[in-house]
Amino acid sequence: MERLLNKRIEKLDNFGRGIIREQGIIFVDDTLKDDLVDIEIVKDKKGIKEGRVINYLERSPYYRESICPYSKECGGCHIINLLYQEQLNYKKNKVQELIDKMLKENIKVKDIISSNEEFNYRNKITLHGDNKSLGLYKKKTNDLVVIDECKLVDDKINAIIKRLKEYILKRDILIYEVTIKTTTLNEQMLIVRGRLDYEDFRKSFTDIKVIIINDQVITKDKYIKERLLDKEFYISNRSFFQVNEYTTKMLYQKVIDLVKDKNFKRGLDLYCGTGTISLLISPYVEEVQGIEVVEDAYLDANRNKELNGIDNVQFILGKTEDNLDTFNDIDLVIVDPIREGLDSKTRNNLKRIKPKQIVYVSCDPVTLMRDLVDLKELYEIEEINICDMFPNTYHVESVCVLTLR
């Protein structure tokens, strides 16, 4: 294989890979900006090359040792070796570069909301099983990396992982997959797929509020509960809930701050999930309607509405793009789509409805910029803020405010 010696990493790309520019672009995993390395080329396709480090000659001044023994293998923590303040700078810079490249306007990232914890911040993990082992998948494979704990998840989850591993070793069972969820109210959920004795499992984990085995709820309760700001929310098996409790609060407070005192009458919350944003902004808008395609999340949203005694919010079950044609006279729209962003039909309907303000919450800055290029025909982009929901990974959330011109 071709080797390149004594090469300096120029920057990190959107996925946390190092970049070397030499007769094209070479992407190099497990490197940081300013690392000096020897590499070998492991892939070369249409001028896009991938390299593997064979020797670190000089480490970046931003380098730190990983505290996780599995980080080299599992690939979940793309930038765990980067000092946290530099992680924030990296995320801010990559969003700013996309703004400059795609929007071509003089817009600067306004604020960055950092996480209060670099580690042990996640309230959820999914592990895979193999024989008597539990672990995470290795980078780009289905090969298992057996783990005893994950440095990103809440300590309560790591305690459950330890108990699960001990339980499996003592019994003739097989667990294919397990998802563990926890809340700041100290309620846990176990979602298990596998071959095991349901009653024995329930008796061994009596402190777990919700246990679901092979889609069957075997506990009295079906939901765990979380508190965000001044509201409480039920979380069920299949409904999505943000994984970083602290940063989620800061993100949603940012949305509230952008909405309150504007005297909005009718609001739309698209891709509303379990209704978190709809319910949190309900005191500041006369009427809110949320649209959600996942039935379990839609049902949770209605339960959450009842739980909090809110009567000015209604939820619609269905695809966002199929439920916008009849809406008019909307002055506020909040969107929080999946990574693919907004489809063209939804963007066209937003331009038809012409709300006074759009608040766009995004988990992928690339699709956000694509959508903003379309929407800026009618909208002024007032501000773009970013939020570090996932420390030690390349992922970044954004909150963008658009005002009708």
DSSP state of 320: G
- Domain spanning 88-117+243-404, CATH class: alpha beta
The pLDDT of residue 238 is: 85
Instruction: Please check whether the two domains, 3-63 and 124-225, share a CATH topology.
Output: yes
* Token couple for 136: 């995470």
Output the CA angle 392-398-404, nearest 5 degrees.
Answer: 175
How does pLDDT run across 289-320, given as a tens digit for each residue? 999 999 999 999 999 999 999 999 999 999 99
Q: What is the mean pLDDT of each run of 10 residues along the chain (405 residues)?
A: 92 96 91 97 87 96 96 90 97 96 93 94 95 88 91 97 95 94 96 96 97 97 95 91 93 94 96 96 97 94 97 97 93 96 96 97 96 96 96 96 96
How does pLDDT run across 27-37, given as a tens digit for each residue? 999 999 999 99
DSSP state of 227: E
d(CA 87, CA 125): 22
The pLDDT of residue 301 is: 96
Domain boundaries, the chain: 3-63, 88-117+243-404, 124-225
d(CA 64, CA 82): 6
Mean pLDDT rounded to a whole number for the chain: 95
Question: Which CATH architecture fits 124-225?
Answer: Beta Barrel (2.40)
Q: Are 210 and 221 in contact (CB under 8 A)?
A: yes
pTM for the model: 0.93
The pLDDT of residue 132 is: 86
The pLDDT of residue 156 is: 97
The beta-strand segments (E) located in 104-263 are 109-113, 124-130, 133-137, 144-146, 174-182, 188-195, 210-213, 216-217, 224-228, 231-235
Amino acid, res. 347: R
Question: Which CATH homologous superfamily contains domain 3-63?
Answer: Nucleic acid-binding proteins (2.40.50.140)
Terminal C-alpha separation, the chain: 56
> Which run of H or E residues covers position 190?
strand 188-195
Q: Are 274 and 300 in contact (CB under 8 A)?
A: yes
